[in-house]
Amino acid sequence: MSAIPRRERLIVALDVPSAAEARALVERLGPAACFYKVGLELFVTAGYFELVNWLVKRGHKVFADLKMYDIPETVARAVANLRGRGITFVTVHGNQGIMQAAAKEKGDLKVLAVTVLTSLDRGDLDDLGFSCDVERLVLSRARRALEAGCDGVISSGLEAQRLKSEFHDRLLVVTPGIRPVDNKPADDQKRTVDVAQAFANGADYIVVGRPIRQAADPRAAAEATQKTIATIFP
């Protein structure tokens, strides 16, 4: 895989209620960020694709985090409809048929497979009927994602090291759930790491939402994250 531009390693999550608020946040961040996640919350509001087009025209990269989960034919058609829009990443859930269908139609997109959501822990997997531990499930789904033709996976930073050890540069590792070391217990993200830990463990990209969006000065928070990244990737 080609080298990743350092400032693109930070993906800012535009998890806000409206496209207007998303644009306002992008304007506020200015040059502190150049890669944005546009997810499900915005997808079900008016102006999703207008927002995507606006971001692309401004030279930003876009991560369509839609976590598609449907019959393979429907997923294939949905992925095909995203081609040619300037979108960089799209997510699907780690079902074999779904991943294969998405990979077949990806064109200029990179398909990322969701392994285990960072809001889930061992207790949640028990409730869902999985007998293996989180790391084993993540690795199993990553192997299947590679076989299906996906370009990468969404994974907690806690599993990134094992993923990179096994797959090296054959799979991108995109890590959400980035939190400060003093993360509040009330946060719904359970399997979290901080910026330095994520990259030390092998993440290629990090997705940061609330720690930037809810900061007193979002631009300063994004720049601080970029400075940390610059110490890791000089």
Residue range 74-89: mean pLDDT, rounded: 97
CB atoms within 10 A of CB 78: 17
Asked if 67 is an active-site residue, the reply is yes
Question: Structure pTM?
Answer: 0.89
**Distance in angstroms (rounded) separating the CA atoms of residues 1 and 3:** 7
Q: Could you report the per-residue pLDDT of 164-183, keeping only the tens digit for each?
A: 999 999 999 999 988 764 44
What is the per-residue pLDDT for 70? 95
Higher pLDDT, 194 or 193: 194
Name the pLDDT band for 130 (thresholds 50, 70, 90). Answer: low
Amino acid 199 reads F
Nearest to 193 by CA among 133, 115, 207: 207
Is a pLDDT exceeding 50 seen at residue 71? yes
Average pLDDT, the chain: 88
Q: Taking a C-beta distance cutoff of 8 angstroms, is the pair 176, 160 a contact?
A: no
DSSP character string of 115-145:
-S-TT--HHHHHHHT--S-HHHHHHHHHHHH
Between the two ends of the chain, the Cα-to-Cα distance in Å is 19
**Any idea where the domains of the chain sit in the sequence?**
6-13+66-222
Rounded alpha-carbon distances, angstroms, from residue 176 to 13, 27, 88, 130, 180: 9, 22, 17, 22, 13
Identity of the residue numbered 119:
S
Q: Does domain 6-13+66-222 have CATH number 3.40.50.460?
A: no
DSSP 193: B
The two structure tokens encoding residue 160: 């990134």
Q: Which of 67, 104, 110, 190 is catalytic?
A: 67
Can you give the pLDDT at residue 179? 75
Percent of the chain with pLDDT over 70: 85
pLDDT (0 to 100) of residue 215: 95
- How much is the average pLDDT of 50-76? 97
